[in-house]
Structure 1
Amino acid sequence: MYESQSITKLPFFNGENYPFWKNQMRLFIKSSDYLVWDAIEDGPIILMKRDDEGRLVPKRKGEMSEDDRKKLQINDKALHMLFCAFRPDIYSKVSSIESAKEVWDTLETTYEGTSDVKETKIGIINLSYENFKMEPDETVSKMFDRFSTIVNGLKGFGEIILGDKLVRKLLYSLPESWDGKRTAIIEAKNLKTLKLDELVCSLLTHEIMKQGREDEKKKEEWRSLR
């Protein structure tokens, strides 16, 4: 399990689990200032003007208005947010880069690899998702932890799976011993609107009741031998 992040504290990147951090950082920046995210996604604003011949050329520093300077400051805000989220050795690798977009892209290449490498990683995680099944003697909680890790891994690479598909996948990942419960859920619930956490709660309740019945059965068998 991961430790939850404060909504006012930058998600810290320690060099591990980059896809998770990237998603958390993206949401943090967007919720703080969407213009800052634009600078990371699209690159810094280049201020232009027309010269005497009508051609577009970059503005010189002395030609910039106060509004121009505020626009340029957005890239610096983005850099500041990124740099403050890095441990020292990661910061040292990108500290000389002046574009927030370039910093972000550098991290992606370093920790996710090139596009070919990323496609390979996505393929491996997708295979894990497609082949996902509840393991023998695995609890619902542990199964859901494994499932969440796979889904979050895909999400970190931009592969978003809709809620109803996640519900169906998890439901049909249960073994034959859960057939009765699965059928009851399918008949009683609308799988298109059933939330994943609601499904897990239902499975956990059934697991507790099932364990209780098994414990009681063992007690009865033990009594009969006395």
Structure 2
Amino acid sequence: MTIFIQALDYNLWDLIVDGPNLPTVTLENGDVTPKPRNTYDDNDRRRVKINAKAKHIIICAINSNDFNRISSCISAKEIMLVHDYEMFTMNENEDIKSMFSRFTNIINALQALDKTYSNSEMVRKILRCLPKSWMSKVTTIEEAKNLNILPLEDLLGSLMTHELSMQKKDDEEEKEKKKKKIVALKSSLIEDSEDDDENEELALITRKFKKFLASKKKFGGKPNKKIYQKGESSKLEEIICFECNKPGHYKSDCPRLKKKDLLKKKKKKAMIATWDDRDESSSDEDSSEEVAQLALMALEEEEEEKTMR
């Protein structure tokens, strides 16, 4: 709107800022009053015409509600100031002191144009311009105070006190948030450290297990049959069994070890049969036969060992 008016005629903007600059006369008692229209000269008519042009531009740019508020204004400057007063609100991140300073500037400029508002009107205007975060305080003031007689300075002091308490509360909440962030960060670091320790332990176990498998493959694994088929019998002859101390096979393929395993299985069967309570007579006979077989197998095994030695 400022650029639009300046582009049309910069004298219009000067009139709004410095105005109203309407023709006036000074009475004998020193009072200044508007000059009667029938006494206008050419210069007076030019000044009145510029003011009317500025009013016309502003009125065309506002809605019907705003027009009802400023229709009684005489000058273009008064229209702008009344519009600023009606649309006044507290800006985002603005403190009470700065907001009240802007409001006072508008009120003082209107008073210079003989446009005044009562104390109760200004108090209610200040309460209406506060944001939603102040609604609880506004409700408290409206219920506890008589707005018709509440001085504007007392309202300012009450709002500034509440503002300080809000800032203190916000600071405490911010400190609490920072503490929670620090605790969460420490917890995360501890968890990461524990994970690293577990990973290191797992890696150590893995390395030991691989080492164990390598040693088992070297000393106790089965021979590769493909190697034997290629005729490399010299390697097979170099292999010594840890069970019978004979060359040509590993411990896992030792016939002596297999025979021991068979003997253990039979001993186990004999023990099961001994403790069977279903048929005591048959159990005794089977047990005696089994013991005899085991004794015979033990003697054969001892003879074989002597022969091998």
Q: TM-score, normalised by structure 1?
A: 0.51
Q: Give the one of 194, 198, 203 matched to 2:154.
A: 198
> What one-letter code is carried by the residue in structure 1 that aligns with 2:150?
L
Q: Which of 145, 149, 170 is the matching residue for 2:101?
A: 145
Match of 2:223 in 1: none
Greater helix proportion:
2
- 2:144 and 2:28 map into 1 onto residues whose CA distance is 45
Structure 2: distance between partners of 1:41 and 1:172: 37
Q: Structure 1's 42 and 194: CA in aligned 2 closer, same or farther, altered over 3 A? A: closer
1:121 corresponds to? 77
Q: Residues of 1 paired with 2:179 and 2:151: CA distance?
A: 42
Question: Aligned letter for 1:215?
Answer: D
Residues 30-76 of structure 1: per-residue CA shift (max 9 Å, x gap): xxxxxxx9632179xxxxxxxxxxxxxxxxxxxxxxxxxxxxxxxxx
After superposition, residues 1-226 of structure 1 pair within 5 angstroms as: 39-41=29-31, 114=48, 116=52, 119-226=75-182
Distance 1:171 1:38 in 2: 44
2:97 & 2:81 partners in 1: Cα distance?
A: 20
How far apart, in 2, do the equivalents of 1:216 and 1:136 lie? 21
Runs of 4+ in 1 over 4 A off after TM superposition: 113-118
Aligned length: 128
Q: Return the alpha-carbon distance in structure 2 between the equivalents of residues 135 and 197 of structure 1.
A: 20
Q: Does the C-alpha gap of structure 1 residues 170 and 42 become closer, same or farther in structure 2, counting only changes over 3 Å?
A: closer
Q: Give the CA RMSD over aligned residues.
A: 2.8
1:42 to 1:162, Cα distance in 2 relative to 1, 3 A = closer
Counterpart CA distance in 2 for 1:38 and 1:198 is: 41
* Gap change, CA 1:217 and 1:131, over 3 Å in 2: same
Q: Distance in 1 between matches of 2:96 and 2:28?
A: 40
C-alpha spacing 1:119/1:213, structure 2 compared with 1 (3 Å) = same
Relative contact order, CA 8 A, sep 6+: which one is greater?
A: 1
Ranges in structure 2 where 5+ consecutive residues have no aligned partner: 1-16, 20-26, 34-42, 55-73, 183-309
**1:203, 1:38 → 2: CA distance?**
47
2: distance between equivalents of 1:174 and 1:225? 33
Q: Which runs of 5+ in 1 are unaligned?
A: 1-16, 20-36, 44-108
Corresponding letter in the other structure for 2:87: N
The share of aligned pairs that are identical, in percent, is 34
Give the CA deviation at 1:18: 7.4
TM, length-normalised to structure 2: 0.38
Letter in 2 for 1:149: N
